Chain A
Amino acid sequence: MGTGNRGSGVRHVVLRGGRVLDPSQNLDGVGDLVLADGKIENFWRAGDTTYGDDYEVIDCSGLVVAPGFIDVHCHLREPGREDVETIATGARAAAVGGFTAVCAMPNTQPVTDNQAAVGFVLRQGQAANAARVHPIGAISLGQEGNSLAEFGEMVAAGAVAVSDDGRPVASAHLMRTALEYARTFGIPVADHCEEPTLAAGGAMNEGLVSTRLGLKGIPSEAEEIMVIRDILLARRTGGHIHLCHMSTKGSVELIRWGKERGIRVTAEACPHHLSLTEDAVEGYNTNAKMNPPLRTEADVEAVREAVRDGTIDLVATDHAPHHYDEKEREFSDAPNGIVGLETALAVVNTWLVKPGIIDLATLVDRMSVSPARTFNLPGGSLRRGSVADVTIFDGTREWKVDPGQFVSKGRNSPYGGHILQGRVMCTIVGGKIVHQATG
């Protein structure tokens, strides 16, 4: 891929000759996509394009041109743990992974639970000049599960959702109130489903592997009990519950139950829960430790099927960088979480598209169109007039994951050394190139 003559003040970009894939308008055709003044201007079937000499041309032949990916769930660690990630490094890692926008979870230090903190995340994100950063505000003050944070002011300051992610909302009453109050402002409540007394002290999925390794298990029911509790509370309140990082077969069945009844429930799955099982923990691999934990093959299959049929609406990374020292220790003491922004496309492509479970259009839907719709965000479409957030990728290119090369400060990936298929070649935010692959 090369860029053409870029004169000063060029504001028009032509993405030439790619396979333009936009499920938001059922578009799948080879041609040229024209961006102008930060918006999508037009799509021309191959050969029909007319554009002036001052247009910047990017050759996309052989590549997929899609609405920019949106990650509704990542941890950028700023403020508080700038040693493991900053909003700038996280937003750049997102761009490398083809994400044109990410939602930053509020479990920072201090917690993003007020309008000033939300404004800080927004400003740091704008300064990063990479993927857009949308703040998520806390549900409860300090994420302590006691009293509601000021949703109204946080939304006015730019928050797109509320969540106590990292911690469950143990009180059913508080969750009920949060759903009702969030409804007032038209935002989803992003729900970390974990029944805390069942999950206490757990380090991995409860089952044969945890029994063999002598690690305390987290049963599937710790997730599923909260899934059904909060689906029922959404039914009661009419609020929008968004279930984060779904990992079990049982959860999928409960979501299906809720959707069949018209309850406002949406759900996400993470690339790791779509690709790896509890077997990855073997040898006490702390880069396979996350919460919820990796589950069994039957769970992975059910979650994949749910992504295919739309029971699970979207894919989100739960990108969670940790310091090397924190992961380099006894398994039970290591923190939960892995980085995911820079491998998400390749993992979903390798484990879901390649074996034919979903097609590329479904991948683009689950990683772009659906997240935009679910969280009511700009982007997620290549329609004329939409923001010019575009991801250009090569679905066939293989590459070997080397965490040492990540733009994120985090190196904690279970995919190190894996050969994956699918590489982001170019990421465009608001008409500007924020990432371009070299070589």
Chain B
Amino acid sequence: MTTPLGKDLLALEPLTPEQIRLILDTAEPFKEISERVIKKVPTLRGSTIVNLFFEASTRTRVSFEFAEKRLSADTVNVAASGSSVSKGETLVDTARNLEAMRIDMVVIRHSASGAAQFLAERIESNVINAGDGTHEHPTQGLLDLLTLRDRFGSLEGRRVCICGDVLHSRVARSNIWGLKKMGAIVGVCGPRSLLPNAIAELGVEVFDRIEAAIEWAEALNVLRLQLERMQAGYIPSLREYNRVFGVTLERLERAPRDVLILHPGPMNRGVEIDSAVADGPHSVILDQVTNGVAVRMAVLYLLAGGAPELADAAKGGSDR
């Protein structure tokens, strides 16, 4: 079945602005379902979805699971530990076995870049990438876009800076593609040891100083700093990272305008972001989480063949 998105959602890089806009527009009516007392519509009744998580994840897995359940799909969660994967089964065998059980969709999170595409090319079911290595995390990118659009109305010409470990971040890549396609101007800021050497070739502004980034930006997407980066020698210490690159209230107060604060979570409070910022008036971090469910519902709906113009009606139910 061909949908406006194709068979799978693997990355934002190959999507057109129209496709991204379609997902965001489709997410709008789905937001409301989560506000109901009975948070369930029958749209995906009878569909089976496997959440195949080869990497630990709480937020993304739970968000997908809520999205699936609120659309009435039957879901199964497979975590890497305790599965045949830990017995040495290859990804291709795992995929074939799932396919043999006649599933409709797979949501995959994997530590290897390209794993979602690998799976998608080998099974007929729809595949949704829930994060592959350091490649992309498209639904995170989409929920960030939706959150920014909620506040800004349009992303056209808006200046958004992605701060932190861009080198190892799939969130950063999905954000860069998504934001640029929606007309935003994208900056990145972080220690050069955590920025890809070729970053400027992606068409983004590069800031060495967080102060300069804050002065420039209308929104900051603050990335999580993985503790293992310090052990691997990319930065000398978390303490210095906070002092040089931390997004602090003091720094934000010197900004010429209010700066919207996003963070994909989970946060290291006191490292890349101060609590006063995370919990402050310009933080939209919890809006991101709420929007995450709606965006994922939209993606599931569209890949299942749902007509975008019927999304509002698809909410169905009489419990309005």
Which A residues have a C-beta under 8 Å from some C-beta of B?
Answer: 206-208, 210-217, 219, 283-284, 325, 328-333
Contact A330 B112, beta carbon cutoff 8 Å: yes
Contact A330 B198, beta carbon cutoff 8 Å: no
Contact A328 B92, beta carbon cutoff 8 Å: yes
Interface flag for B136 (CB, 8 Å)? yes
B153-195 with Cβ < 8 A to chain A: 170, 173
A437 to chain B, nearest CB (A): 35
Q: List 21 A-B contacts (CB under 8 A).
A: A206-B197, A208-B202, A211-B198, A213-B113, A213-B114, A213-B135, A214-B132, A214-B135, A215-B113, A215-B133, A216-B134, A283-B117, A284-B117, A328-B92, A329-B91, A330-B110, A330-B112, A331-B113, A331-B114, A332-B113, A332-B114
Contact B196 A211, beta carbon cutoff 8 Å: yes
Point out which of A208, A214, A215, A284 has the most chain B C-beta atoms below 10 A from its C-beta: A214
Which of B118, B135, B173, B201 is A208 in contact with, Cβ under 8 Å?
Answer: B201
* A138 to B235 alpha-carbon distance, docked (Å): 38
Point out which of B90, B112, B197 has the most chain A C-beta atoms below 10 A from its C-beta: B112
* Nearest neighbor of A285 in chain B, beta-carbon distance: B114
Specify which chain B residues have a CB less than 8 angstroms from the CB of A325 in the assembled complex. Answer: 90
Specify which chain A residues have a CB less than 8 angstroms from the CB of B110 in the assembled complex. Answer: 330
Which B residues have a C-beta under 8 Å from some C-beta of A?
Answer: 13, 90-92, 110, 112-115, 117-118, 132-136, 170, 173, 196-199, 201-202
Specify which chain B residues have a CB less than 8 angstroms from the CB of A330 in the assembled complex. Answer: 91, 110, 112, 114-115, 118
Contact B114 A212, beta carbon cutoff 8 Å: no
Specify which chain B residues have a CB less than 8 angstroms from the CB of A217 in the assembled complex. Answer: 197
* Nearest neighbor of A332 in chain B, beta-carbon distance: B112
* A331 to B133 alpha-carbon distance, docked (Å): 11
Contact B173 A212, beta carbon cutoff 8 Å: yes
A55 to chain B, nearest CB (A): 56
Specify which chain A residues have a CB less than 8 angstroms from the CB of B115 in the assembled complex. Answer: 330
B65 to chain A, nearest CB (A): 25
Contact A284 B198, beta carbon cutoff 8 Å: no
Contact A284 B13, beta carbon cutoff 8 Å: no
Which 3 A-B pairs give the minimum distances between C-beta atoms? A214-B135, A284-B114, A330-B112
* A325 to B88 alpha-carbon distance, docked (Å): 13
Given A329-B92, A331-B112, A333-B112: A214 touches B134 (CB 8 Å cut-off): yes
Contact B198 A214, beta carbon cutoff 8 Å: no
* A10 to B14 alpha-carbon distance, docked (Å): 64
Given A206-B197, A325-B90: A284 touches B118 (CB 8 Å cut-off): yes
Which of A214, A216, A328, A333 is B170 in contact with, Cβ under 8 Å?
Answer: A214
- Interface class of chain B by DSSP: mixed
Given A208-B198, A208-B201, A330-B110: A214 touches B133 (CB 8 Å cut-off): yes
Contact A284 B201, beta carbon cutoff 8 Å: no
Specify which chain A residues have a CB less than 8 angstroms from the CB of B91 in the assembled complex. Answer: 329-330
A294 to chain B, nearest CB (A): 16
* A332 to B110 alpha-carbon distance, docked (Å): 12
Specify which chain A residues have a CB less than 8 angstroms from the CB of B118 in the assembled complex. Answer: 284, 329-331
Specify which chain A residues have a CB less than 8 angstroms from the CB of B113 in the assembled complex. Answer: 213-215, 284, 331-332
* Nearest neighbor of A212 in chain B, beta-carbon distance: B13
Contact A329 B173, beta carbon cutoff 8 Å: no
A105 to chain B, nearest CB (A): 27
Contact A214 B173, beta carbon cutoff 8 Å: yes
Specify which chain B residues have a CB less than 8 angstroms from the CB of A214 in the assembled complex. Answer: 113-114, 132-136, 170, 173
Specify which chain B residues have a CB less than 8 angstroms from the CB of A332 in the assembled complex. Answer: 112-114, 133
Specify which chain A residues have a CB less than 8 angstroms from the CB of B173 in the assembled complex. Answer: 212, 214
Known pairs A328-B92, A330-B114; list 20 more (Cβ under 8 Å): A206-B197, A206-B198, A208-B198, A210-B196, A210-B198, A212-B13, A212-B202, A214-B113, A214-B114, A214-B135, A214-B170, A214-B173, A215-B114, A216-B134, A219-B197, A329-B91, A329-B92, A329-B118, A330-B112, A331-B112
* Nearest neighbor of A325 in chain B, beta-carbon distance: B90
* A208 to B197 alpha-carbon distance, docked (Å): 8
Specify which chain B residues have a CB less than 8 angstroms from the CB of A210 in the assembled complex. Answer: 196, 198
A9 to chain B, nearest CB (A): 55
* A5 to B101 alpha-carbon distance, docked (Å): 63
Specify which chain B residues have a CB less than 8 angstroms from the CB of A328 in the assembled complex. Answer: 90, 92
Specify which chain A residues have a CB less than 8 angstroms from the CB of B197 in the assembled complex. Answer: 206-207, 211, 217, 219
* Nearest neighbor of B168 in chain A, beta-carbon distance: A214
* A423 to B90 alpha-carbon distance, docked (Å): 38
Specify which chain A residues have a CB less than 8 angstroms from the CB of B132 in the assembled complex. Answer: 214
Specify which chain A residues have a CB less than 8 angstroms from the CB of B13 in the assembled complex. Answer: 212
Specify which chain B residues have a CB less than 8 angstroms from the CB of A208 in the assembled complex. Answer: 198, 201-202
* A328 to B114 alpha-carbon distance, docked (Å): 12
Specify which chain B residues have a CB less than 8 angstroms from the CB of A333 in the assembled complex. Answer: 112
A302 to chain B, nearest CB (A): 19
* Nearest neighbor of A214 in chain B, beta-carbon distance: B135
* Nearest neighbor of B201 in chain A, beta-carbon distance: A208
* A210 to B13 alpha-carbon distance, docked (Å): 14
* A207 to B90 alpha-carbon distance, docked (Å): 29
B186 to chain A, nearest CB (A): 14
A208 to chain B, nearest CB (A): 5
